[in-house]
Amino acid sequence: MQFHTKIYLASASPRRHEILLQMGVAHTVLDVPAPPGEDEPRLAGESPADYVRRTAKEKALRAVAWISTQALPQQPVLAADTTVFIGNDILGKPVDDDDARQMLRRLSGTTHSVHTAVVLACGQHLDEKVSMTDVRMKRLSDAEIEAYCATGEPMGKAGSYGIQGRAALFIEHIAGSYSGVMGLPIFETGQLLQRLA
Ligand SMILES: Cc1cn([C@H]2C[C@H](O)[C@@H](COP(=O)(O)OP(=O)(O)OP(=O)(O)O)O2)c(=O)[nH]c1=O
């Protein structure tokens, strides 16, 4: 599969940039000013899939609006949102080490789901896909959590871990998309980009 159209990646996530490089997708990373504050709250009754879909669409549309204020060429925009769900709760990115410790204690010895929505915007036209992955984490000791937090790896990552990093040692099993857990599901992204050809 070859991708010929150049796109913008509207994401500050280095993982998403790396995954697009792996896919051979020519892209420019856009540094769209993000709204200040914490992760978007979930709406009442909103499913995990609907939540990531909505937040990824917001990122894409914010980028489209921003491009139109800059002297930038018009190109399709790719945006994504990744969130960890456990029980009925969202685990977003930790605000500090204490927050990370709490999230890792919560994930220890259980299975959670990681949802990633990927959105392709051509102007106001949006196309999207959602990947869902179950992740089983082994039981973590306090010492393991401490040592992991000391690496700094939890920061900037939903659920306070990176499956692509040292936390791989904690993951017993996954059912779904490894790249989706990392932040950009390769299969679903390829399906969206193929429609540009
Ligand atoms: C669960 C998990 C998440 N993550 C990362 C992917 C995403 O970068 C991050 C989830 O945060 P997001 O809000 O999806 O993305 P972001 O803030 O990093 O970037 P942007 O909004 O600008 O696109 O967590 C991993 O790198 N590995 C993992 O195993």
Please state the ipTM of this predicted complex: 0.98
Q: Backbone phi, then psi, for 178, in 5-degree steps? A: -60, -45
Asked if the structure places residue 2 within a domain, the reply is no
CATH number at residue 119: 3.90.950.10
Calpha distance 153→161 (Å, rounded): 7
Looking at per-residue pLDDT, the higher value among 31 and 161 belongs to 161
Over residues 171-190, mean pLDDT: 98
User: For 75-100, how does the pLDDT look when each residue is reduced to its tens digit (9 = 90+)?
Assistant: 999 999 999 999 989 999 999 999 99
Amino acid type, 114:
V
Q: Which residues pair with 174 in a beta bridge?
A: 135
User: For 6-39, how does the pLDDT look when each residue is reduced to its tens digit (9 = 90+)?
Assistant: 999 999 999 999 999 999 999 999 988 887 777 7
Number of domains in the chain: 1
Calpha distance 33→113 (Å, rounded): 29
The answer to whether the CB of 95 falls within 8 A of the CB of 103 is no
Residues of the domain holding 121: 7-194
- 81: annotated active-site residue: yes
Asked if the structure places residue 88 within a domain, the reply is yes
Pocket test for ligand 1, best of 157, 164, 170, 174 (most atoms within 8 A of CB): 157
User: For 29-76, how does the pLDDT look when each residue is reduced to its tens digit (9 = 90+)?
Assistant: 998 888 777 778 899 999 999 999 999 999 999 999 999 999 889 899
What is the model's pTM?
A: 0.96
CA distance readout (Å), 79 to 20, 47, 74, 102? 12, 20, 15, 28
Q: Which residues pair with 113 in a beta bridge?
A: 85, 134
Tokens of 40: 């978007």
Alpha carbon of 161 to ligand 1 centroid (Å): 10
The answer to whether the CB of 32 falls within 8 A of the CB of 63 is yes
| 197 has a pLDDT exceeding 80 | no
Alpha carbon of 11 to ligand 1 centroid (Å): 9
Asked if the structure places residue 130 within a domain, the reply is yes
Chain centroid to Cα 16, Å, comes to 8
Alpha carbon of 183 to ligand 1 centroid (Å): 5
Asked if the structure places residue 124 within a domain, the reply is yes
Amino acid type, 4:
H
Q: DSSP for 109-159, please give it.
A: TSEEEEEEEEEEEETTEEEEEEEEEEEEE----HHHHHHHHHTTTTTTSGG
Asked if the structure places residue 187 within a domain, the reply is yes
Amino acid type, 74:
Q
Determine how many CB atoms are found less than 10 A away from the CB of residue 11: 25
| Res 107: pLDDT | 98
Of 50, 81, 96, 134, the catalytic one is 81
> Does ligand 1 lie within 6 Å of residue 84's CB atom?
yes
- The three-point CA angle 130-132-135 to 5° equals 155
Asked if the structure places residue 1 within a domain, the reply is no
